[in-house]
Amino acid sequence: MNVYDSERMAEALVLSGYQQVETADDADMVILNTCHIREKAVQKVYSDIGRIKPLKKKKNDMIIAVAGCVAQAEGAEIIARAPVVDMVFGPQTFQQLPDMLDEVHALRAKGKKSRLVRTEFPAAEKFTALKSVTRAPITRSPSAFVTVQEGCDKFCTFCVVPYTRGEEVSRPTADIIAETQALVDQGVCEVTLLGQNVNAWQDRQSGLRLDGLLAQLGAITGIERLRFTTSHPRDMDDALIAAHGNNLKLMPYLHLPVQAGSDNILTAMNRKHSAAEYIELVARFRAVRPDIALSSDFIVGFPGETDADFDATMALIEHVTYAQAYSFKYSPRPGTPAAEDEAQVDEAIKTTRLHRLQALLNGQQRAFNEAQIGNILPVLFDKPSKKNGQMSGRSPYLQTVHVTMDEAIMESVRGRILPVAITAAHNNSLSGHLSDGD
């Protein structure tokens, strides 16, 4: 979502006469678009500001801005601690960027220091502003993100998102379709719908839910692949599950975070579902789409996690089997209930458990990849691989696939979906060759 927001900021600034440059040294303005999910997010922002500060000394009129969720959480504190910063704005206010810039210039013209802080929550206003944005192709990727939903009302006890991104707000259907059409006109054929709780998306006027939106987007000529992320198990409905069996444009990949496999810990996290309910949900997806690749998030060492709780998480992983996963040691986020819990788990225990969990998940990912050897997969080619003479793309299961080919045809395959015979599997990718079928 931050990548998407950064692109929108770049577009808003183009309208104000700016253009994107490659390094901070060449910039008249630097925006740090921050993520509060990262560990030690706040310290990292101040160390980044410290790195940019000497540039501002050299170039006195440089503007430094801090955006995103750390900006939302810290607000005016950032300017108090780092007076070199000119503006601080949250994820729901970046559409005001051109106005903020005008204000900074006006203050400077009067010889005053700018100290703008915009951290209110007008998410609906942001969506209205996005509607009028013309998406300039910043990259030439055939794959693009489209934000459809923002914010979260779930209040998991470890998470800052409800405090930094605000309550759940859905973007209107017509705006999503218009943005998708504009992307298709620029050569995009794969769209990933984004939202903190994307499957909570609903068009309040028509009652349309995510399955219906995916059906409408799939009907756009030129759209070949649809994906969405991130889902919450509690918001999954029958129609969206069924869509994985009947919407041919919807790719067989689902990121469905569970975080833990112990009911005690799921309750302490305020996830509001049990391990058994999650497992049953997975079974319903597999019933309509047996080959679906599952991905998840895991937190190890949540406050109060016992050996038995951890074993329950390992058992859930063994039962479900994942194609991919993201796993982390629990680390407290200031202002969240879990951070105040006195039953914090010893760091060494967290490390040991994380190693065991990642060994299991990595083995499952490797096995999922190896099961593709000998298959022919449709691959959407995106960009040259790091290795010379190879193009890379994505399989329907979101695996990166590297294909060696004649340099002369590399440009011509970009943006096309072509059959690839898979010959080798690695931990994080596959390799193969273009199949004779094309």
Task: List interacting residues with ligand SF4 (CB under 6 A).
Answer: 152, 154-156, 159, 161-162, 196-197, 232
How far is Cα 142 from Cα 383, in angstroms, rounded to an integer?
9
Least distance between ligand SF4 and beta carbon 368 (Å): 24
Least distance between ligand SF4 and beta carbon 155 (Å): 6
Least distance between ligand SF4 and beta carbon 270 (Å): 8
Least distance between ligand SF4 and beta carbon 229 (Å): 11
Residue number with CB closer to ligand SF4 (123 or 152): 152
Residue number with CB closer to ligand SF4 (324 or 395): 324
Residue number with CB closer to ligand SF4 (161 or 418): 161
Least distance between ligand SF4 and beta carbon 117 (Å): 24
Least distance between ligand SF4 and beta carbon 416 (Å): 35
Least distance between ligand SF4 and beta carbon 426 (Å): 30
Say whether 87 sits in a helix, a strand or coil.
Answer: strand
Least distance between ligand SF4 and beta carbon 159 (Å): 3
Residue number with CB closer to ligand SF4 (33 or 114): 33
Residue number with CB closer to ligand SF4 (156 or 236): 156
How far is Cα 228 from Cα 336, in angstroms, rounded to an integer?
27
Which residue bears the tokens 């997010």? Answer: 41
Residue number with CB closer to ligand SF4 (328 or 381): 328
Residue number with CB closer to ligand SF4 (116 or 159): 159
Least distance between ligand SF4 and beta carbon 334 (Å): 15
Residue number with CB closer to ligand SF4 (99 or 167): 167
Residue number with CB closer to ligand SF4 (257 or 393): 257
SS3 per-residue string spanning the chain: CHHHHHHHHHHHHHCCCCCCCCCHHHCCEEEEEECCCCCCHHHHHHHHHHHHHHHHHHCCCCEEEEEHHHHHHHCCHHHHHCCCCCEEECCCCHHHHHHHHHHHHHHHHCCCCCCEEECCCCHHHHHHHHHHCCCCCCCCCCEEEEECEECCCCCCCCCCHHHHCCCCEECCHHHHHHHHHHHHHCCCCEEEEECCCHHHCECCCCCCEHHHHHHHHHCCCCCCEEEEECCCHHHCCHHHHHHHHHCCCECCEEECCCECCCHHHHHHCCCCCCHHHHHHHHHHHHHHCCCCEEEEEEEECCCCCCHHHHHHHHHHHHHHCCCEEEEEECCCCCCCHHHHCCCCCCHHHHHHHHHHHHHHHHHHHHHHHHCCCCCEEEEEEEEECCCCCEEEEECCCCCEEEEECCHHHHHHHCCCEEEEEEEEECCCEEEEEECCCC
